[in-house]
Amino acid sequence: MEAHERVRKLYTWQDVARRTEIVYHQVESEPRKTMADRLKRYRQCAWLITFVATLNFVLLLLVEWLVPRKSIDIAPNCHPKAVHVIRQRHPSTSNREIDSTYNS
């Protein structure tokens, strides 16, 4: 139990959340890597990782071809209560329409 108490004092939810935010902001600020750049990095690990990453990319391309992004209803970027009110007033309104109305 002594070890548990020491570990418990080392970590707090606030500290973990703060450090997680720092990592998120660092990742968010980095430029997006192309698939070719990613594969070059994966090749340094192992052929299996490269194969799985490539397979994953090909599957994503297949899904994109089967269900294009433009046919997917985008979730609105607004407060849930606002969406609820809009849906009550206009039940047939799509999320894309709500998002464009709310964010214009």
pLDDT in tens, 20-71: 999 988 988 989 888 888 888 888 888 888 899 899 999 999 999 999 988 8
User: Is pLDDT of 77 > 70?
Assistant: no
Are 78 and 102 within 8 A, CB to CB? yes
Distance spanning both ends of the chain, measured CA to CA: 57
Q: Which two tokens stand for residue 63?
A: 């899904």
**Predicted local distance difference test score (pLDDT) of residue 66:** 94
102 pLDDT more than 90: no
Question: Length of the chain in residues, anyone?
Answer: 104
Which amino acid, residue 65? W
- Whole-prediction pTM value? 0.45
Other beta carbons within 10 Å of 92: 6
Which of 61, 101, 58, 43 is CA-nearest to residue 77? 101
pLDDT tens for 8-29 read 778 788 888 899 999 988 988 9
Distance of CA 45 to the CA centre of its chain: 24
